[in-house]
Amino acid sequence: GENVEQHPSTLSVQEGDSAVIKCTYSDSASNYFPWYKQELGKRPQLIIDIRSNVGEKKDQRIAVTLNKTAKHFSLHITETQPEDSAVYFCAASNGGSQGNLIFGKGTKLSVKP
């Protein structure tokens, strides 16, 4: 089955700096890669997703890149703000009947003012 590794587990940056979170996956058939943000005590919420037919997707200060050959994908946050502080989860799914969405263990991002 799919296995998703996420690094780092914690990340601290200064406000205005960029943050990068990386994930690797094991199932080469995986083709859907969402990222969820979970603020303290709240529910996970989708912030961006990418499918395997594209290599990069951007939404304002957030971008995700996908390298299918190396089986890794990354979340990039530019011009970080204190409200970006949260736990970020990557996930991967092959969408098939046995293709459950598998989540990484999460990265706790702290943005210091």
Binding site for other proteins (CB under 8 A): 32, 34, 36, 42-46, 49, 89, 93, 95, 98-101, 103-106
Query: Of 80 and 94, which CB lies nearer to other proteins in the complex structure?
Result: 94
Bridging pattern class, strands 32-38 and 45-51: antiparallel
Residue 4's Cβ-count burial label (10 Å; 0-12, 13-18, 19+) is: buried
Q: Which lies closer to other proteins via its Cβ, residue 28 or residue 81? A: 28
Smallest separation, CB 71 to other proteins (Å):
18
Sole residue written with tokens 């970006």: 84
Q: How far is the CB of 96 from other proteins (least distance, A)?
A: 9
CA atoms within 13 A on the CB side of 93: 16
Nearer to other proteins, 73 or 89 (CB): 89
